[in-house]
A = this chain, B = another copy of it.
């Protein structure tokens, strides 16, 4: 029997390092699965169904919500986005962990649906000045867009206390090591190792055979 896969939820304000960290995580352990969202928005040039998103019609999407096939979903600027349940469930049973790069609302819905299988991590910036600097260093957004991001960041940060673990991303390498430690530890939790029951039964047989 194999280990039960877990769901790792990463949330943070934009610019706190979440995307970089989840990319490094996927490179560090290539058995992990990155959760791909479904959306009703049209594919952009170069986007592929099942790679960037699962592209679905509004009818398909709404019928999936109705039959509880979405772990979480939300409407953003007139488009629906959500996390399909089936691939997550299949991964868990195969002993594969799934990573969600998701905001607090999505994280909360997944937590409600999947309870003890969820490990949630919130990443805080070392300061707002630093968050601002990181957003601007991308060099492609207007002041208005950045102001909007900062307002959203403040809202996101206000939910930090709903997470299992909280990291302050001062140094990316250190924060990554902390994230790896959390993943390593959570995989070693007793309830995530159902294979141990058979292992201990084998130890007992060894005792009896002495």
Contact = CB atoms under 8 A, between A and B. Distances in A.
A161 interface: yes
Given A128-B207, A186-B185, A196 B166 contact: yes
Interface of A: 122, 124-125, 127-129, 150, 154, 157, 160-161, 163-168, 177-178, 180-182, 184-186, 188-190, 193, 196-197, 199-200, 203-204, 206-207, 210
A194 to B, nearest CB: 11
10 contacts: A124-B203, A128-B203, A128-B210, A150-B210, A164-B189, A165-B189, A166-B190, A181-B181, A181-B184, A185-B186
Taking chain A's interface residues, is the majority helix, strand, or loop, or is none over half, making it mixed? helix
Nearest to A203: B128
As for how many copies of this chain the complex holds, the number is 2
Contacts of A207: 128, 150, 154
A190 B163 contact: yes
Contact of A184 (B127, B163, B166, B185): B185
A184 to B, nearest CB: 4
